[in-house]
Amino acid sequence: MEAACAVIREHRLRPEQIEEIKVYTFAAATRLAVARPANTEQAQYSLPYPVAAAAMAGRLDPEQMLQPALSDERILALAERVEMIFDPELEARFPAEALARVTMRTVGGQTVSSGVYGARGDPANPLANGEIDDKFTRLTAPYLDEARREALRAACWQAAELQDVGELVALFGPPAKTSAGSAQRRHALLQALASAPARIRQAVEPLADAQAGWQPDGETWSIRMTVAHLAHAEPLFRERFRRMLAEENPLVPAFGPESAQPHSERSIGALLRAFEEERQQTIALLSELPPAAWSRTAVHETLGQTTILRQVENILDHDVAHLGQVVELQQKWAALYQA
């Protein structure tokens, strides 16, 4: 990420100018090659995705490892153009040093490169005090009011002189914003919900019935079954929201194929339309909610304490996971029948 950002800053590249990114690094890092992570955990153990996210924004922040950023097609498209390449010289310096260098090719055909970089903030490459202050502000501003933030900043810088660590701990308080999230974040989540059916349609609409119904084995879902599951899951998500709105912290069950059935005799086109229509009803329900309602809680059967906002994030993770299954099936089909 440091090498990619350095190239972008030095050459003043805009994201739309980048055609290809090559990352030269040690062997273990080249295996972290997931371009379309299904969730935050996969994004954290990927290099193409955060490199692309950093290239888009000029830096990498926690929000880019969450929804709706994980569904941002601009980031994902660039991540697919990130190539991980083994560098024997950097391998020889690992594990004492974890290093990488980056080469970018622009749409105009220009090739630009970075030097060799390690992660900023490591003991060998520490952040300056001003950089630490800036990072502290960026990460705490959404959660702490200014007075508490500045008191915490001062206490952290003077931690070695504190007589009682409790003075520092006491400054960690509840978020200034509720778990309903900011208006900007709620809007972004609704936009991501609205765009998901189009991404699914783009992936599956051109497929012939034989490919849409193909199963590589007796257990793996076909593409048609995956779309049927998405359509059948949507009203179950809405029912969960309605319970969270009507009841105080209800216990809500998990559901899988036994509830959101993947089986349907309808065509892939009809299933796509059903998914789109169901998703519009979900968006309509959420759009009418007052801000405070997004923080309504429930106890999820497997995930534990949750909120409506967190459940919306889970729906987006669910979309991304099943879109990944569709792409994987297309690749398997192509390897077998189009070789």
Give the mean pLDDT of 193-199.
88
pLDDT at 168 over 60: yes
Residues 192 and 304 in one domain: yes
Residues 154 and 234 in one domain: no
46, 33 contact by CB (below 8 A): yes
Range of the domain at 138: 129-169
List, edge to edge, every strand of the sheet that includes 304-307: 251-252, 297-300, 304-307
Question: What residue type is 147 in one-letter code?
Answer: A
Q: Is the model's pTM score more than 0.75?
A: no
Q: Which residues of 322-335 are buried (b: 16+ CB within 10 A; e: fewer)?
A: bbebbeebbeebee
Does residue 189 form part of some domain? yes
Q: At what angle do helices 183-204 and 308-337 cross, to 10 degrees?
A: 20
Residues 279 and 213 in one domain: yes
Question: Using CA atoms, how far apart are residues 38 and 323, in angstroms rounded to an integer?
Answer: 9
Residues 162 and 295 in one domain: no
**pLDDT of amino acid 175:** 47
Does residue 124 form part of some domain? no
Question: What residue type is 189 in one-letter code?
Answer: L
SS3 content of the chain, % helix, strand, coil (to 5): 55, 10, 35
Q: Is the backbone peptide bond immediately before 95 cis, with ω within 30 degrees of 0?
A: yes
How many independent structural domains does the chain possess?
3
Residues 29 and 138 in one domain: no
Does residue 276 form part of some domain? yes
Residues 140 and 77 in one domain: no
User: pLDDT tens across 261-275, in order?
Assistant: 888 888 899 999 999
Residues 94 and 163 in one domain: no
Residues 141 and 239 in one domain: no
Does residue 24 form part of some domain? yes
* % of the chain residues with pLDDT over 70: 96
Residues 62 and 151 in one domain: no
Q: Is the backbone peptide bond immediately before 88 cis, with ω within 30 degrees of 0?
A: no
What is the rounded average pLDDT for all residues in the chain?
87
**pLDDT of amino acid 131:** 84
Question: Using CA atoms, how far apart are residues 326 and 203, in angstroms rounded to an integer?
Answer: 8
Does residue 315 form part of some domain? yes
Does residue 175 form part of some domain? no
